[in-house]
């Protein structure tokens, strides 16, 4: 797996939830399809997780393992 394809987790200052995202730049797209400004992301795993991001990442892991 390419390192750009890995999910990273960060807390959004916009909604206070921890989202999964890929890549970087000024704006990042989260697994739940929200757009978050990279300046509004705090690099932490602590906090309330976005359930949609958890499900999206979990489904991808399940598909990879069962393939």
pLDDT single digits (tens) 39-62: 999 999 899 999 999 999 999 988
User: How many domains is the chain built from?
Assistant: 1
Q: Structural domain of residue 12, as residue ranges?
A: 3-66
For residue 8, what are the β-bridge partners?
21
Residues in contact with 60: Cβ distance below 8 Å, sequence separation at least 6, in sequence order: none
Q: State whether the Cα torsion 16-23-35-21 is positive or negative.
A: negative
Q: What is the DSSP string of 2-36?
A: -GGGS-EEEEETTTS-EEEE---SSEEEBTTS-EE
Percent of the chain with pLDDT over 70: 94
Confidence of residue 13 (pLDDT cuts 50, 70, 90): very high
């Amino acid at each position: 797996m390419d390192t750009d394809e890995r999910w990273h987790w960060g807390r959004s200052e916009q909604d206070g939830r921890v989202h999964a995202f890929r890549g970087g730049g000024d704006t990042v797209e989260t697994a739940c399809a929200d757009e978050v400004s990279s300046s509004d992301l705090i690099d932490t795993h602590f906090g309330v997780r976005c359930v949609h991001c958890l499900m999206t990442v979990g489904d991808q892991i399940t598909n990879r393992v069962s393939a």
